[in-house]
Structure 1
Amino acid sequence: MTEEKSSESFNLFKFLGDVKAELKKVTWPTKKELVTYTGVTGIAVVIVCALVWICDTIFARLFQLILR
């Protein structure tokens, strides 16, 4: 299977202009929202790490019991 090439070539300046236009459409968070989102993310990471540690400990002890 062959793919047909686009008749238009890549234009870096047009691409960067389009990126700039799209970034102007973004609704950026306020400082308060950013701090809140960062805190929530940090708490979620700590919870997931604790769950993984608990599961790892349980499985390690189970395997120790099985292999004895």
Structure 2
Amino acid sequence: MNKIISYIRESYNELVHKVSWPTSQELSSSTVVVMVASLVMAVVVFAIDTSFEWIVSNFYKIIFI
């Protein structure tokens, strides 16, 4: 039980005194970067999915018609 309490105290001490937290401006800019990167990846995945759908549907049209 002492190990668990010691672990919690050390974790708290590290989070409060040793971790350098980002400023509000750094956090905002990082959030914008993540949102833009997510949007770009979503568009890329959508384009690939749409392309494969078109390729497969045309392939099946050629084979089965």
Taking structure 2 as the reference length, the TM-score comes to 0.83
Residue-by-residue CA offset, 1:26-66 (whole Å, 9 max, x unaligned)? 11000000100001100000000000000000000000011
Runs of 4+ aligned residues of structure 1 deviating over 4 Å after TM superposition are none
Distance 1:10 1:50 in 2: 52
Tell me the matched-pair count: 60
5+ unaligned residues in a row in structure 2: which ranges? none
More helix by share: 2
TM-score by length of 1: 0.80
User: What's 1:58 paired with?
Assistant: 51
After superposition, where does 1:1-68 map in structure 2 within 5 Å? 11-23=3-15, 24-68=17-61
CA distance in 1, matches of 2:14, 2:60: 58
**Unaligned runs of at least 5 residues, structure 1:** 1-8
CA RMSD of aligned residues (A): 1.4
Query: What percentage of aligned pairs have identical amino acids?
Result: 27
